[in-house]
Amino acid sequence: MFEIEANLPVLVVTVPLIGGILTILMGRGKGPWAWATLITGVVFYFTWRLMQAVLASKTGMISYELGNWPRQWGIEYRVDALNAFILLTVAGVSFVTTLYAQKSVEKEIPQDRHNFFYAVWVLAVCGLLGITVTGDAFNVYVLLEISSLTVYALIAMGKDINRQALTASLRYLILGSVGASFILLGIGYLMMVTGTLNMQDIHDRLVAMPDAVHNRTVLVAFAFLLVGLGMKMALFPLHMWLPRAYTFAPSAVSALLSATATKVGVYMAFRFLFTIFGVGFSFVAMPAHIVLSACACTGILVTGVTAVRQTNLKRLLAYSSVGQLGYIVAGFALANVHGVAGSVVHIFNHAVMKGGMFMAAGAIMYRVGRCDLRAIRGLGKRMPLTMAAFVLGGLGLVGFPLTAGFISKWYLVQGALQAPHMWPVAAVVLVGSLLAVAYTWRVVEAAYFQEPEGESATVTEAPLSMVAPMWILIGASIYFGINATFTGEISMRAAKSLLGGAP
C-alpha cells in the first residue's frame, strides 16, 4: 500500500509541515529543539533518498501529481537533478543548523516561547523546501509567502538583543511583500496569455507562441518576475534589506537564512528563467544575461568593498553573502554549461561555508556577547576551534585551492572564458577574491595578531554542541573542495538538463 519511495517528493514537504505544527506541543526545555532536530533530520534523510531516486531514474526526473490530478490541472511536484541537489543542500544545512541552534537560542530567545520559535523555524524550512520541489507557478507564490512570513518572525526575534532587528524585519517585510507581489503579477500576466499555471505547460505554450518575444504582456511579465526574484534573492542593487536582516537576526537564524533563504531565491530564478521562459527567450532574445551579469559584477565589487569596511562580523558576512550571490548569478547568466554548473555548485558550497561562518560568529556572540572586530581580538587563542573554522570558511570565500570555493570559481572562470565577450566576468571573479582576502585578513589580524581585552580575555571555547555542527559544515566545505566528484557531477548534470530545454 504505502511506499515511502513513491511519495518521497511530497514527504519532503509534509513532514516538516506536520512536524512544525506538532512542535508547539513539545512543552518547554529541550523538547522543542530535540523535536525540530528530529524532523529536520528525517527530512534530510528523505532528501537523500530522493536524490538517489532521481539519479537512478531513467528520465532523470521524478514527477508527483498531488491528489492524482493530471499535472496540467492540478499541482505537480517535479524533481530533477537541480531540485534534488538544492533540496539536499537546504535540508542538510537546516539539519546541521538546527543541531547548532540549541545553546544559541537558549541564550537569545525567551525560554517560554521556544516551542513557538522552533515551530516557526521548522515551517520556514518547510516553505523553502516546498518552493524547491514544486512545478507549479502559483504554488511557488504560496510557499514563498510561508517562507517569507516565517523569516520575518524569526528575524524579529533578535529584538531582545538589538531593537534594530524589528526595523530590519519590517523593512524586509515591506520590500519582500512588494517583491512577492511582483512575482504574483508576473505569474498573472503569464496566466493571461497561456491559460495555465503548470511551469512545463506554460513553457510549452510560450514555445508554441510564434511571437512570444514581441508579445508585450510576456515581456512585462518577464521584467516583473525578474525584479521580484531579484528582491527575493537580494541581487544587487535590490539587496537593501539583507545586511540589516542578517546582522540583527538571532545568530542561529542568520546561519539558517544565509545558507538557505537566498539560495532558494536563486533556485526560483533558475526555474523561471530556464524552465518557464527557456534559455532561448531569456538569454538569446532578451538581454537577461547582460542585465544579470552587470548587476552581479557590480554587486561583487561594491559589496566586497563595503564588507572590507565593516566592523561587525555578522554585517561583514552579510555583505559578503550579497557578493557571493553575485557569483552565483553571474554564473548562470553566462548560460553555458560550465557557468551554470559553477553557479549550481556554488549554491551548495556557499551554503556550507557561509553557514559555518555564521555559526562561528554565533559562537562568538554566545561567549562574548557581541561580535564586532574589537570583541574578537585575540580570540585565536581563547577560542581556537571557532576561529579556525571561521578562517577556513574565509579561505573558501576567497577561493583558495583545496576548499570548496575553489571548485566553484574554477567552473565560473572556465564558463566566463568560454562565453563570447564575457571575460570581464572572469576578471571580476578574481578581483572579488582579492576583496575576500582583504576582509578575511581583517578578521585574522584581529583574532591572531592582537591581544585579548575586556571580556574577551576570559572567554573559553564555545560548547561542543556549537563547535561540532560548525565543523561539520566547514569540514564539508574542505571535503568537497578536495573531492568534488559528487557535487561537480550533479551540477554538470543539472546544468545540462537546464540548458537542454526540458528539465
Partner 1 sequence: MTDVLGIYNYWIYVLLMMIGLYGVIAKPNLIKQAIALGLFQTGIFLYYISMAVIDGGTAPIWTTIEHGAQKFQGPYDNPLPHVLILTAIVVSVSVLAVALALIINIKRQYGTIEADEIEAMDLADKARDYVRGQVVDAADDAETKLEGRHHV
Partner 2 sequence: MNAVVLIDTLLLLLVTVSAIAIIEVRSLYSSAMLTGVYSLLMALVWVNMHSMDVAFTEAAVGGGISTILLIGTLVHVGREEKPLKKRLHVPALIFTALTGAALIYGTLDMPRFGDPAAPIHHYRVPEMLAQTVGFVNKTPGKQPAPEGFDAQQYRTFDGRVKDIPADPTDTAWRENSPLRTEGLLIPTVPYQHDAHAEPGHHLHPPDDFNGHVPNSVTSLLAAYRGYDTMFETTVIFTAGVSLILLLRRPRREGYLQKGAPLGDQVILRVVTKMSIPFILIFGFYVITHGELGPGGGFQGGVILATAFILYALIFGRPALYRIVPPPVSDVLTGVGVLVYSGTGAACMLLGGKFLDYAFLNTASPGDGEALGMTLVEYGVGITVSMVMLTIFNQLAEEQSK
State yes or no: residue 180 binds partner 2 (CB under 8 A): no
Among 34, 191, 294, 373, binds partner 2 (CB under 8 A): 191
Beta bridge partners of 198: 136
Q: How far is the CB of 220 from partner 1 (least distance, A)?
A: 11
Among 372, 431, 448, 496, binds partner 1 (CB under 8 A): 372
Rule CB under 8 A: is residue 177 a binding residue for partner 1?
Answer: yes
**Among positions 47, 139, 262, 310, the unique one binding partner 2 when judged by CB under 8 A:** 139
Q: Cell numbers for 184, please give them.
A: 504574483
Q: Which is nearer to partner 1, 164 or 465 (CB)?
A: 164
Beta bridge mates, 79: 62
191 touches partner 1 by CB under 8 A: yes
- The DSSP secondary structure of 133-184, one letter per residue, reads HB-BHHHHHHHHHHHHHHHHHHHHGGGGT-THHHHHHHHHHHHHHHHHHHHH
174 binds partner 2 (CB under 8 A): no
CA 184 to mean position of chain CA atoms: 21
163 interacts with partner 2 by CB under 8 A:
no
Q: Does 156 bind partner 2 (CB under 8 A)?
A: yes
Could you give the residue ranges of the DSSP H alpha helices within 271-312?
Answer: 278-279, 288-308
C-alpha cell read off for 158: 533578535
Instruction: Please identify, among the stretches 56-64, 180-188, 291-299, 438-446, the one whose residues bind partner 1 according to the rule CB under 8 A.
Output: 180-188
Binding mask 293-312 for partner 1 (x = CB under 8 A): ------------------x-
Q: How far is the CB of 435 from partner 1 (least distance, A)?
A: 23
**3-class DSSP assignment, residue 62:** strand
Contacts with 369 (C-beta within 8 Å, 6 or more apart), sequence order: 375, 455
Q: Residues 31, 41, 74, 188: which binds partner 1 (CB under 8 A)?
A: 188
> Considering CB distances under 5 to 8 angstroms, the limit depending on partner class, which of partner 2, partner 1, none binds residue 143?
partner 2
- What are the contacts of 380-385 at 24+ separation with CB within 8 A? 380/444, 380/447, 380/448, 381/452, 382/452, 382/456, 382/457, 382/459, 382/460, 382/461, 383/459, 383/460, 383/461, 383/462, 384/461, 385/461, 385/462, 385/467, 385/470, 385/471
The DSSP element (H or E) to which 247 belongs, if any, is helix 242-248
Least Å from the CB of residue 355 to partner 1:
26
Among partner 2, partner 1, none, the one that 65 touches (CB under a kind-dependent 5 to 8 A) is partner 2
CB of 2 to partner 1, least distance (A): 29
- Sole binder of partner 2 in the list 219, 285, 291, 373 (CB under 8 A): 219
Residue 88 to residue 38: CA distance in whole angstroms: 16
62 lines the binding site for partner 2 (CB under 8 A): no
Q: What torsion, rounded to 10 degrees, do the Cα atoms 231, 237, 241, 245 define?
A: 110
Q: How far is the CB of 189 from partner 2 (least distance, A)?
A: 6
* DSSP assignments along 356-405, one per residue: HHHHHHHHHHHHHS--BTTTTTTHHHHSHHHHHHHHHHHHHHHT-TTSHH
Q: Which of 284, 384, 423, 453 binds partner 1 (CB under 8 A)?
A: 453
Residue 145 found at the interface with partner 2 (CB under 8 A)? yes
Rounded least distance, CB 90 to partner 1, Å:
22
DSSP code at position 198: B
Instruction: Please report whether residue 170 would count as binding partner 1 according to CB under 8 A.
Output: yes
Binds 4, which of partner 2, partner 1, none (CB < 5 to 8 A, cut-off by type)? none
Q: Does 217 bind partner 2 (CB under 8 A)?
A: yes
Question: Please, what is the Cα angle at 64 between 58 and 66, to 5 degrees?
Answer: 170
- Identify residue 52 by its one-letter amino acid code: Q
Quote the least distance from Cβ 22 to partner 2, whole Å: 7
- Is residue 156 within the footprint of partner 1 (CB under 8 A)? yes
Q: Which helix H or strand E contains 27, and what residues bound it?
A: none
Assess 194 for contact with partner 2 (CB under 8 A): yes
Q: To the nearest whole angstrom, how small is the minimum distance from the Cβ of residue 1 to partner 2?
A: 4
Q: Name the nearest CA neighbour of 94 among 473, 381, 475, 403.
A: 473
169 touches partner 1 by CB under 8 A: yes
Could you tell me the end-to-end alpha-carbon distance of the chain, in angstroms, rounded to an integer? 30
Using CB under 8 A as the criterion, which residues of the chain lie in contact with partner 1 when the complex forms?
A: 138, 141-142, 145, 149, 152-153, 156, 159, 163-164, 166-167, 169-170, 173-174, 177-178, 181, 184-185, 188, 191-192, 197, 311, 372, 374, 453-454
Using CB under 8 A as the criterion, which residues of the chain lie in contact with partner 2 when the complex forms?
A: 1-2, 7, 10, 14, 17-18, 21-22, 24-25, 64-70, 72-75, 110, 112-113, 116-117, 119-120, 123, 126, 130, 138-139, 142-143, 145-146, 149-150, 152-153, 156-157, 159, 185, 189, 191-196, 201, 205, 208-211, 215-221, 223-224
